Amino acid sequence: MKAFIVFTSLLALGLCAEELCYKDTHRSCNSVSSKLVPGTPNCNAKYGAIDFMQPELQQYANQLLYRSFDFLLMSTYFGNYVKNRPGFEKLYRKYSDNLWNDGIELIKYLDVRGGSMDFKNFPRNLVEEENTGAEAKPKPGPNWDLSEYLSLSKALDLEKDLAGDVFDIHLHADDHTEGHYDAEIAHHMEKEFVDKHRDIVRSLAGYTKDLGEMLDTADASLAVYLFDELLQSGKY
């Protein structure tokens, strides 16, 4: 009886499915060729709307890696002998490392879902930044007088942009139209990114507000020094 049920289930599986791994392997096993892989295109980890969402996930991974270098440049700028702000250097190095790790993890996630990574698939805003040059988006360096206060506001804007991109990906993955909906991608973005960006945005907003109030004193240079000491201590 059990054997009959199993046989019936397999038969139904073969008849009802047009694009299944079982059907591919069955066809390949019955062919004269001994090369099974080319004849089994559906034996992969893809399901849901990964094909629809893959380009956007690739763009976000590239965005994370790119912004990681932005924060690394900011960290290096405040770590030189001229600025000598070890607290700001530590803060931006931490953000840089976090974004780099997030980008690598997202690339691994694409592989888990059966997708692939395209390092040339950049989001439009990064392409526009590169095309418009340094005039539109200056980089930290000798020609960019980046103060501690301005750097916090720049960091806050960058993190808000990244948080907004997560919302866009979640919105598209939660589109309940055929071929677009993917609950697992939406869940993954919530679990790995939403809370993290919320906390970072909150911290940077607090830093910006507190330093702004500290600068509104008779000795602004002392205020910046004390603020950097707080960042360096890791207790703030």
CATH of the domain at 211: 1.20.1260.10
Q: Are residues 125 and 32 in the same domain?
A: no
Q: One-letter amino acid identity for 101? A: N
Domain range for residue 164? 50-233
Residues 117 and 180 in one domain: yes
C-alpha 169/C-alpha 53 separation (Å) is 8
- Asked if 73 and 139 count as a contact pair (C-beta separation under 8 A), the reply is yes
Is residue 26 very low, low, confident or very high in pLDDT (cuts 50, 70, 90)?
low
Is 129 annotated in a binding site? The answer is no
pLDDT at 218: 80
- Which pair of tokens denotes residue 90? 């530590």
Do 21 and 114 reside in the same domain of the chain? Answer: no
Shared-domain flag, residues 137 and 31 = no
Distance CA 37, CA 39 (A): 5
For residue 123, what are its two tokens? 């989001």
**What are 73-115's pLDDT values in tens digits?**
999 999 999 899 999 999 999 999 999 999 999 999 999 998 8
CA gap 71, 79 in Å, rounded: 12
Q: What's residue 28's pLDDT?
A: 60
Number of separate domains in the chain: 2
Same domain, 91 and 55: yes
* Mean pLDDT computed over 200-214: 95
For residues 21 and 80, state if they share a domain: no
Does 68 share its domain with 12?
no
235 has pLDDT over 80 = no
Please tell me whether residues 16 and 55 are part of one structural domain. Answer: no
Mean pLDDT on 127-156: 69
> Which class for 179: exposed (0-12), middle (13-18), buried (19 or more C-beta within 10 A)?
exposed
Question: Across residues 169-178, what is the average pLDDT?
Answer: 88
pTM of whole model > 0.75?
yes
Residue 35: its pLDDT value, please? 55
